Structure 1
Amino acid sequence: MKRVLAVLAVVVVIASAATGVLIWRLAQHPPPKHPEISAYTDGQLVRIGPYSYCDVVNLNDCETPQTIGELAVDGRHPVQLSVPSAISDAPWLLGRTYEGSDVLEEFTPGSTLAVTIPTVDPHRGKLTGFVVQLPTIVVDQDGNELPAWHAEWSVRTVWPQPAE
């Protein structure tokens, strides 16, 4: 009987210690307050929080951490963009900025979690950056409905410098 109690006491001590370590680890790395996007290319992964994040009903209630991600790119590897379901479950926009012009794509709710972005477009040149936006409709003082966004994530691309 003493042996069973001793083993049980050891199990309780180990379980308590493991629970304490788990709680400590979770407290050290709290989950992000807002959704993050992920961008991957050529072995490099970056996670980016929002540049701005507003209440969808009250666009004056905003947090603007002004986070801008940076991703080193080249002409051989596309960018793989991933958005969490917190973004993809709503209509969302992907704006790509190239040297020559911009491209805006709209995605319907639940349709897309990942997008491949070419770093070079034959008609527009090199990709200089991209944004993910969550749109909403606002009504101005004259009653006109206008598109706006209530959240935005921004990524700037960094190209290798030519050798001197």
Structure 2
Amino acid sequence: MHRGLKPLLVVACIGLAAGCAAPSEPQVTFYSHGRTATVDPALYCDATGQHCSKPSEDPVGELRIPSREPLQISVPGEVAAAPWQVAFIYRGVNGQELDGRSAVFPPNERFAYTLQLPPDGARLEHVEVQQFSAVLTQGADGGVDFGIGGSWLLDVQQ
């Protein structure tokens, strides 16, 4: 009797591993000054942009970051497997809203990034990790823009 059950158990285990344990959506971790926020994607699509998952009810993470402290961002392999970058909004010392972007990181080259604002008292307000997709659109300057296939959002509190 044991000889007949063993192959069935192996087939059942393979079936469960392949079909029932669907991978979860990748999370991005933000860290600063001893605090961590792990964020689900606000947008997460396959490389073609055809199949997108439904975002969670509150896809924006929050993290308290003291002024002038760096923000460390860690992305999993699923995010780093495609080109990605960090876009952010901050307030200058005069209160003006400013924005910035990191370089675009090539696939599988970086799994972390440290965002450091100018030391003049600027305050970070919002951060977005953007994973690019293979979807191309006409750019405003006549060139080509890559679509965003994944997005992880963080609001910063002082």
TM-score higher than 0.5: yes
8 A contact 1:137–1:146 mirrored in 2:
no
Corresponding residue for residue 39 of structure 2: 48
Structure 1: segments with no counterpart, 5+ residues? 1-29, 160-164
CA distance in 2, matches of 1:102, 1:31: 37
Corresponding residue for residue 85 of structure 2: 93
Deviations 1:91-139 (A, max 9, x none): 1111011123211121111221111112x42479211011111112435
Corresponding residue for residue 131 of structure 1: 128
Alignment equivalent of 1:102, drawn from 93, 99, 102: 99
The one-letter amino acid paired with 1:57 is: T
Offset of 1:43 from its aligned partner? 1.2
| RMSD of Structure 2 on Structure 1 (CA) | 2.7
Corresponding residue for residue 151 of structure 1: 150
8 A contact 1:121–1:127 mirrored in 2:
no
RCO greater where, 1 or 2, for CA within 8 Å and sep 6 or more? Answer: 2
The one-letter amino acid paired with 1:150 is: G
Offset of 1:55 from its aligned partner? 2.6
Q: Which has the larger radius of gyration?
A: 1
Deviations 1:61-88 (A, max 9, x none): 4422251000001124211111111111
Q: How has the CA–CA distance of structure 1 residues 61 and 110 changed in structure 2, closer, same or farther, with 3 Å as cutoff?
A: closer
The TM-score normalised by the length of structure 2 is 0.68
Listed as ranges, the matches of 1:24-35 within 5 Å are: 33-35=24-26
Corresponding residue for residue 115 of structure 2: 117
8 A contact 2:27–2:40 mirrored in 1:
yes
Corresponding residue for residue 61 of structure 2: 69
8 A contact 1:98–1:126 mirrored in 2:
yes
The TM-score normalised by the length of structure 1 is 0.66
Comparing both structures, which one devotes a greater share of its residues to helix? 1
Q: Report the 3-state secondary structure (helix = DSSP H, G, I; strand = E; otherwise coil) of the residue aligned with 1:39.
A: strand
Deviations 1:33-68 (A, max 9, x none): 200011111111111110111232134644222510
